[in-house]
Amino acid sequence: MFNLILFGPPGSGKGTQSEKLIDKYGLLHLSTGDLLRKEIANQTKLGLEAKSFMDKGQLVPDAVVIGMINSALEANPAAKGFLFDGFPRTVAQAEALDNLLASKNSGISIVLALEVDQEELVKRIQIRGQSSGRSDDSDPNVIRARLVEYENKTAPVAGHYAGVGKVVYVKGVGTIDEIFQSLCRQIDSRK
């Protein structure tokens, strides 16, 4: 199995690049943000609980997202690999993911970390907000809160995987295709 984490702050291009990477490498895309928005659209209990955190730009509790990822892994036993997008976002989530994959005799192959400076992130999120309809992409206070959550809780996840030599930093600025080619080069040199 080839399991990839596409890592980076909100607005760094994870969603855009994920779509291209899953096409090229035949991986199954697991985006916790997308899964949570689906739960909200279906007005499930989980969705209603998650929405109160998402609307404020806060992370949803670990147990909720870990449960969703566990179900998704169980539902796709034949996948040749997964692309995790927006997960793990805390060290506790990373540890849980490592354990879930280990129980399937697998693990994380590589963490590709997109680097984009803060000013560019805010600009991109606001532009996305004009067409995505996502309220958390439109309110400057919520955008700021998401970036603070990232610095405090998510950035340490890179350290978790750097400790085992899995993290590769990739410049997340340039054209979509330039960034995609940089990501592919890193994957191809490790496959």
* Residues forming the site for ligand AMP (CB under 6 A): 10, 32-33, 36, 53-54, 57-60, 65, 86-87, 89, 93, 136, 146
Query: Which residue's CB is nearer to ligand AMP, number 136 or number 180?
Result: 136
- Cβ within 8 Å of residue 133, ≥6 positions away: none
Residue 37 catalytic?
no
Write down the least CB distance from residue 23 to ligand AMP, Å.
20
Query: Which residue's CB is nearer to ligand AMP, number 27 or number 66?
Result: 66
Write down the least CB distance from residue 188 to ligand AMP, Å.
26
DSSP state of 174: S
Question: Per the omega criterion (within 30 degrees of 0), is the bond before 10 cis?
Answer: no
Residue 144 catalytic?
no
Cβ neighbours of 50 (radius 10 Å)? 23
- The strands making up 110-115's β-sheet, listed across from edge to edge, are 28-31, 82-85, 4-7, 110-115, 167-171
Structure tokens at 78: 């034949």
Write down the least CB distance from residue 189 to ligand AMP, Å.
27
Phi first, then psi: give them for residue 115, nearest 5 degrees.
-110, 120
Residue 171 catalytic?
no
Residue 89 catalytic?
yes
Residue 82: C-alpha distances to residues 72, 127, 142, 169 (Å): 10, 29, 29, 19
Query: Which residue's CB is nearer to ligand AMP, number 36 or number 187?
Result: 36
Residue 14 catalytic?
yes
What does the alpha-carbon distance between residue 28 and residue 68 come to, in Å, rounded to a whole number?
15
Write down the least CB distance from residue 95 to ligand AMP, Å.
13
Structure tokens at 87: 């997960």
Write down the least CB distance from residue 11 to ligand AMP, Å.
8
Query: Which residue's CB is nearer to ligand AMP, number 10 or number 13?
Result: 10
Query: Which residue's CB is nearer to ligand AMP, number 152 or number 181?
Result: 152
Residue number with the smallest Cβ distance to ligand AMP: 33
Q: Which of 51, 134, 153, 166 is catalytic?
A: 134
Catalytic residue numbers read 14, 89, 128, 134, 146
